[in-house]
Amino acid sequence: MVAALLGFSTQAAVVSESVSYRVDGQEFKGYLAFDDSQTSPRPGVLVVHEWWGLNDYIRGRAEMLAELGYVALALDMYGDGKEASHPAEAGEFAKASLASLPLAERRFNAAREQLARHPLVAGSPIAAIGYCYGGGVVLHMARNGAPLAAVASFHGSLTPKTTPLPADSKTRIAVFNGAADPLVPADQVAAFQQEMETAGADYLLVNYPGALHAFTNPDADRVPAEFKMPVGYDQAADLDSWSQLQTFLQETFE
């Protein structure tokens, strides 16, 4: 199981499968994971990938959510299951996917609707989590009023893509940020806090001292040596943010 690569136990009866769906005539390839030993409806959680695309790391996170009892769908924001192997290619994919925000929203919502139709979700609430690029996506969907019980961003951009969170938003928000991340500087974090306070949001912000961008991804340590980018894995921040996410989701779905 992919989750084993991340160093977490895999005791639940998790099954996984690829799912295909279409948006504006293009095929998208997601990854669904759930515990098939449970038969009762349960909440769903969407997982939005980093700018690298829907790779084994994100599939592993979906499996870890399934082990917690959720139905998890790692969605495809690029189409055709595309994955990048070089930052230049990843940047091109990410930029193209966000060139039209209405199109990006349709891609996200198509996956959300796919998850909502799953028999084991069956009208249960849905949350979304995202990493790096995906963190910015889930925050945008919360600000845009998508029907999500909660969103959680891990080392994602905090700047609104359009308008800030409205005061009537019912979506709970969690942000796990690396305090040493040059891609999310302190003024961006402060502006996010002000946005949340102005909206009266139910939010959690955790800033990990010394943590860089991509701190949850064990493969991030390869990137600085290969591409000279300011990223890196931080095991303590990774484990703590995952633990806090579990509590956050439990409280949300109670």
Classify 47 as helix, strand or coil.
strand
**13-48 pLDDT tens trace:** 899 999 999 999 999 999 999 999 988 999 999 999
Percent residues over pLDDT 70 in the chain: 95
Q: With a cut of 70, say whether residue 76 has pLDDT above it.
A: yes
Rounded CA-CA distance 76/137 in Å is 12
Q: pTM for the full model?
A: 0.94
If residue 127 lies in a helix (H) or strand (E), which one and from where to where? strand 126-131
pLDDT tens-digit series, residues 195-238: 999 999 999 999 999 999 999 999 999 988 899 999 999 999 99
Q: What pLDDT shows up at residue 191?
A: 98
Contact 177, 155 (CB under 8 A): yes
Domains of the chain: 2-253 (3.40.50.1820)
Q: Which pLDDT tens digit goes with each residue over 129-168?
A: 999 999 999 999 999 999 999 999 999 999 999 999 999 9
- What confidence score (pLDDT) does residue 225 get? 84
Q: Both tokens of residue 196?
A: 């949340």
User: Environment class of residue 187 by beta-carbon count within 10 Å: exposed (0-12), middle (13-18) or buried (19+)?
Assistant: exposed
Quick one: pLDDT at residue 12? 65
How many angstroms separate the CA atoms of 196 and 204, rounded? 10
CA gap 134, 120 in Å, rounded: 25
Query: Rounded to whole angstroms, how far apart are CA atoms 27 and 91?
Result: 21
Distance CA 169, CA 159 (A): 17
Which residue in 6, 49, 236, 3 sits closest to 156, CA to CA? 49
Confidence check: pLDDT of 9 > 80? no
Would the pLDDT of 6 be above 70?
no
